[in-house]
């Protein structure tokens, strides 16, 4: 049986499969078993911010003398170290981190914390968004989940984009009732095809949350770790989120890792009342990977930021030169790039053909979505964009 046949027979999957069997991945390239090389503009959907197999992380993992496992209720030096590092890199009022195995668990824990802290049960989120696959995360995500899962949580309400004064009025109407535990969103909504809220929107939202005792949760699962040109995308705005969810690029892809960051005040208020036990939360391998990843980000901040700026402008300029069927809407924040083709079928056709031609990307609805490694070279960016251009020109 081929891998494909075995996969189809034995392997459970929710979503569609891309026709690529991966044998190895290095830097900004992925390779199949026949040695075919693919330029990676997909970046594992936000996991591979530093490319694959980064030496610093690889060596840290290889050279560590960690135990195979640490029971969550013990002390463990690298946990304390990682928590201290996270407190140093996130906005300075967020100093307590809770360990998680990934983004969905982080979102659920954040929602649970907000409910416990406020004593309220309702949650407001952005329609069409994605926050993961656990029940809380699914309930905060797109309402279309409701068609598939009939037991989503009650009390989850949505605000429709576009995010403007009109939506702020609707949010105010709701928050005024003092029933909402939290508003949760991505600070740059990558899962809607890099929707970039106005600063004034985010600032007013933050203000409304503060006025009405609702916690503001920033889901930075994808936007974190310099993806949008700031350490965390929340820093693009003058806002003070109460809780931040981290995941994905935290461990550079070596292990499932996530974190919920909050204030000492919230952490203290929920202490002893909430479970948050996670058998594999911050497994020693993932913890080593996360510490090495953060050290790398801190030691290479300037070169990463300058690469992000350069690559971001290459995307801006070069995408304009591609003859898409209709003029697309291009949305870019740092190295979160979306090309909205306004046609879902066309977008998925381009993605499929690009794969055959050796370029990996994602689609979000009608948008092509690119999340290349932040340390990708100019040559590889041009190589990928050349494949994109050829693909588009042969997809009419």
Ligand X SMILES: Cc1ncc(COP(=O)(O)O)c(C=O)c1O
**Binding residues vs ligand X (CB under 6 A):** 45, 102-104, 107, 130-132, 186, 191, 219, 221-222, 247
CB of 140 to ligand X, least distance (A): 9
Measured from the CB atom, the residue of 192 and 311 that comes closer to ligand X is: 192
Q: Are 214 and 184 in contact (CB under 8 A)?
A: no
Q: Return the C-alpha torsion angle 220, 221, 227, 232, nearest 10.
A: 30
**Residue spans of beta strands (DSSP E) within 5-139:** 24-26, 29-31, 37-40, 96-100, 122-126
Measured from the CB atom, the residue of 89 and 126 that comes closer to ligand X is 126
Query: Residue 102 or residue 384: which is nearer to ligand X going by CB?
Result: 102
Cβ 299 to ligand X, closest distance in Å? 26
Closest separation between CB of residue 253 and ligand X, Å?
A: 11
If the CB atoms of residues 153 and 269 are measured against ligand X, the closer one turns out to be 153
From the CB of 293, what's the least distance to ligand X, in Å? 15
Shortest distance, position 257 Cβ to ligand X, whole Å: 9
Contacts of 347 (CB under 8 A, 6+ apart): 341, 363, 365, 366, 367, 368
Burial 119-143 (b: 16+ CB within 10 A, else e): ebebbbbbebbbbbbbbbbbbbbbb
Q: Which C-beta is closer to ligand X: that of 254 or that of 346?
A: 254
Q: Which of 386, 380, 396 is nearest to 48 (CA)?
A: 380
Q: How far is the CB of 100 from ligand X (least distance, A)?
A: 9
Closest residue by Cα to residue 290 from 299, 298, 282: 282
In the structure encoding, which two tokens stand for residue 68, read together? 């195979």
Residue closer to ligand X (CB basis): 259 or 354: 259
Helix (H) or strand (E) holding 82: helix 77-89
Min dist. Cβ of residue 248 to ligand X (A): 6
Cβ nearer to ligand X, comparing 196 with 385? 196
Closer by beta carbon to ligand X, 133 or else 395: 133
Rounded CA-CA distance 369/222 in Å is 12
CB of 222 to ligand X, least distance (A): 5
Q: Are 261 and 96 in contact (CB under 8 A)?
A: yes
Question: Whats the size of the chain, residue-wise?
Answer: 396
Q: Are 257 and 224 in contact (CB under 8 A)?
A: no
Minimum Å gap between C-beta 219 and ligand X is 5
Residue nearest to ligand X (CB): 103
Angstrom distance (rounded) from CA 52 to CA 58:
10
Q: Where are the beta strands (DSSP E) in the chain?
A: 24-26, 29-31, 37-40, 96-100, 122-126, 156-159, 180-185, 215-219, 243-246, 258-262, 329-333, 336-340, 359-360, 362-364, 367-370
Is the CB of 132 or the CB of 284 nearer to ligand X?
132
């Amino acid at each position: 049986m081929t891998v494909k046949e075995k996969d189809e027979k034995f392997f459970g999957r929710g979503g569609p499969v891309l026709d690529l069997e991966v044998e190895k991945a290095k830097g900004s390239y992925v390779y199949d078993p026949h040695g075919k090389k693919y330029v990676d503009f997909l970046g594992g959907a936000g996991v591979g911010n530093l490319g694959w197999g980064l030496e610093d992380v690889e060596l840290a993992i290889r050279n560590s003398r960690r135990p195979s496992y640490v029971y969550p209720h013990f002390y463990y030096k690298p946990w304390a170290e990682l928590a201290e590092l996270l407190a140093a890199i996130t906005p300075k009022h967020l100093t307590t981190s809770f360990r998680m195995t990934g983004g969905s668990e982080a979102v659920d824990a954040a929602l649970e914390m907000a409910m416990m802290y406020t004593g309220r049960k309702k949650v407001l989120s952005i329609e069409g968004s994605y926050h993961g696959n656990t029940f809380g995360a699914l309930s905060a995500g797109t309402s279309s989940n409701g068609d598939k899962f009939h037991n989503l949580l009650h009390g989850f309400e949505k605000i429709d984009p576009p995010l403007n004064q009109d939506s702020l009025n609707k949010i105010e109407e709701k928050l005024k009732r003092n029933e909402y535990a939290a508003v949760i969103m991505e600070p740059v909504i990558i899962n809607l095809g890099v929707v970039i809220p106005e600063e004034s929107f985010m600032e007013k939202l933050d203000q409304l949350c503060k006025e009405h005792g609702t916690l503001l949760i920033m889901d930075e699962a994808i936007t974190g770790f310099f993806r949008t040109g700031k350490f965390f995308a929340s820093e693009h705005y003058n806002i003070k989120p109460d809780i931040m969810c981290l995941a994905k690029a935290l461990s550079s892809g070596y292990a499932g890792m996530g974190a919920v960051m909050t204030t000492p005040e919230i952490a203290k208020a929920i202490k002893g009342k909430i479970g948050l036990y996670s058998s594999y939360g911050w497994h020693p391998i993932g913890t080593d990977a996360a510490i090495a990843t953060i050290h790398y980000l801190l030691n290479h901040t300037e070169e990463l930021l300058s690469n992000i700026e350069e690559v971001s402008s290459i995307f801006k300029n070069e995408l304009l030169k591609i003859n898409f069927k209709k003029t697309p809407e291009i949305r870019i924040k740092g190295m979160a790039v979306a090309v909205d083709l306004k046609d879902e079928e066309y977008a998925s056709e381009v993605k499929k053909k690009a794969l055959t031609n050796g370029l990996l990307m994602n689609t979000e609805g009608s948008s092509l979505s690119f999340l290349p490694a932040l340390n990708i070279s100019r040559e590889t960016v041009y190589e990928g964009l050349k494949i994109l251009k050829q693909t588009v020109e042969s997809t009419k």
